[in-house]
Structure 1
């Protein structure tokens, strides 16, 4: 008996025509996304490491890579890919049944749990990345610290509390003296019905008057020139002759 082994490359060449799941065939659960109409199509987190979900659910399961060209279906916030359109249609008709079958196959074959990232479906199984962070040696030492307040804040503070005995004695004597104190008032005939009176006046206001036109006057600026003040002549006896001072009026009239 001759068995032919088909590689993933040869399997993808069968669907070179770009066969996708047609709208009339999607009479089942799930939302379909296609490469030509979906942004960031390559970044969608596909379940089972991109293997065909339908073939993993069979009893003789096969690890066959899904062909994203036929579309990716979203069921319960999870994305699944398939190798052929007819397998995608069959899976979407009963998705819960096929998903449960994949979990049963993983229980019988535990190596599939880590291979297909199925540790989220098993609470007692951790991923390889989580196991690598756990140290095999027991930790005998650990760093810890404690912190306490330097001054505790008391909430039940009594402001009237006094610890000094002499201060308490002084307050007691003060209260005792107040018991013997009396308040007296005297009223005479002239002080009867007297009360304080207050009056209010209106202060004078500042008033301004403005005329219709502005007027002004101009006066001449007086200018006087004195000549003969300097350069006095002397007599033979050394005395100065009287100065011949002349006053010249240089004031200019306004009209000029």
Structure 2
């Protein structure tokens, strides 16, 4: 099936699944549906063949399975996938967010800037109007007050007149457009500095927020909330992990716990913990920044909103695992933290002499160890593969296995030795488990192993054309054309020789050498061959 046709089929399937869910009162995004389609197709138990074109019966089966999973609100796996999709669609790095924020501000100022730089004012009224536009531009660019507030406009005008009186407009108009734009930015910085100084002296500063005080109050409150949520999530992770460890030692308990979806609940809380650990350092960094306060204020509000929207994806835990059930399951079980587990095996290190063909690394021998990309987000791959999906943190101190340019950590030395005997086997087992539990693809960062299996994916629409691309100038787009001279056929005339196969003339004159006493008598002799002889 051609790629364009396959994409059209997938789009129709996604649309049909969305309509089915809406009919049952569940509104789902196209991104979530696309992720679920991929998860269902990857699961080998569903019997879809990636190399075969989907038949009508296959499409109906796919739609039915996806709708069933999307409507199963008691499944932690669905909550985990929803959390992952929401985070991918809404989280950007600090640099990307501020870059986009500044780009939007520049686009909004574009029309005001052009009105100033393209102005050809001559009369007194036109010059006064131009000066007012410069004041408005300064206020809009600085963000310190509204250009419609009379008090703020008067204060900004007074500050501007102190460094750029109206009499200087004539010189300003003679500048090039680029120099005008540069001078406008310089004037904005100067006027902003004057107004901030006046505010500090108590002589002005109308409409300027006390951003240091706002951040001083907002950052600790937000950080404290995230710390609390992170602690709760980690406590749940440690308890679930302890119960699952108990199950691995007592196989009879696995049948009892099967309907409770304990593994899926563990994956759900681990994913929530990881997202909070991504967000938390940003708030800590914010506390040390006392410049660009406006950027930080916008950023903190976005991150706070993002954090609050992640909490609803944990709703199934209290429903599936009430306190009484958890207490019963935790009987005779020691709940260990990740730090405790790592400390238990700090002295158990891999002996390099036991491995001749494999490369092992240690934290103290690696520069920039914290930047090393550990597979499976640092969890022990061997334990996960051999205990039906138990997530235990790997301990880099034991040794880091470098295999095919990838790095693996393990929770015990025995696990490291066992994994090293046949890495491909355990990698394939983990890949197979991820196909059955789609939330593991992102939780364990397995995207590269699956990205080529499905020809169409709508993950991360933030940078696609389906996301809003309307700008302040997009309505002014027009067709552009240019004149070109197309190449044409041309020919030239040249001389060429022609010949035919005829006898070559051979005519001689004999008797030209006569003496003085005798008269010369020349005889013409024709030795040319006949035509029929050639």
TM-score after normalising by structure 1: 0.52
Pick aligned residue for 1:42 from 347, 356, 370: 370
Once the two structures are superposed, the pairs formed by residues 123-142 of structure 1 within 5 Å of their partners are: 123=452, 124=454, 130-134=460-464
2:346–2:398 CA contact under 8 A, matched in 1: no
Deviations 1:32-82 (A, max 9, x none): 111222222222211111111111212422111111111211111111111
Pick aligned residue for 2:354 from 19, 25, 32: 25
SS of the residue 2:364 aligns to: coil
The two structures, once aligned, show a CA RMSD in angstroms of: 3.4
Pick aligned residue for 2:386 from 37, 58, 65: 58
Q: Which runs of 5+ in 1 are unaligned?
A: 161-256
> Structure 1 residues 13 and 78 mapped into 2: Cα distance closer, same or farther (>3 Å)?
same
Once the two structures are superposed, the pairs formed by residues 1-256 of structure 1 within 5 Å of their partners are: 1-17=331-347, 19-26=348-355, 30-122=358-450, 123=452, 124=454, 130-134=460-464, 149-154=483-488, 156=490, 158=492
2:394–2:409 CA contact under 8 A, matched in 1: yes
More helix by share: 2
> Structure 1 residues 16 and 81 mapped into 2: Cα distance closer, same or farther (>3 Å)?
closer
1:65–1:82 CA contact under 8 A, matched in 2: yes
> Structure 1 residues 37 and 126 mapped into 2: Cα distance closer, same or farther (>3 Å)?
farther
> Structure 1 residues 99 and 145 mapped into 2: Cα distance closer, same or farther (>3 Å)?
farther
1:25–1:89 CA contact under 8 A, matched in 2: no
1:53–1:81 CA contact under 8 A, matched in 2: yes
Q: Give distance in 2, aligned partners of 1:127 and 1:95.
A: 32
1:74–1:80 CA contact under 8 A, matched in 2: yes
Deviations 1:236-255 (A, max 9, x none): xxxxxxxxxxxxxxxxxxxx
> Structure 1 residues 138 and 46 mapped into 2: Cα distance closer, same or farther (>3 Å)?
same
Q: Give distance in 1, aligned partners of 2:444 and 2:489.
A: 60
Report which of the two structures shows the higher radius of gyration computed on alpha carbons.
Answer: 1
> Structure 1 residues 76 and 67 mapped into 2: Cα distance closer, same or farther (>3 Å)?
same
2:358–2:403 CA contact under 8 A, matched in 1: yes
Q: Give distance in 1, aligned partners of 2:382 and 2:420.
A: 10
Higher relative contact order (CA 8 A, sep 6+): 2
2:346–2:397 CA contact under 8 A, matched in 1: no
The count of aligned residue pairs is 157
1:20–1:69 CA contact under 8 A, matched in 2: yes
How many angstroms does 1:153 deviate by?
4.0
Q: Give distance in 1, aligned partners of 2:354 and 2:367.
A: 23
Q: Which runs of 5+ in 2 are unaligned?
A: 1-330, 495-534
1:34–1:69 CA contact under 8 A, matched in 2: yes
2:396–2:409 CA contact under 8 A, matched in 1: yes
> Structure 1 residues 39 and 111 mapped into 2: Cα distance closer, same or farther (>3 Å)?
same
How many angstroms does 1:146 deviate by?
6.9
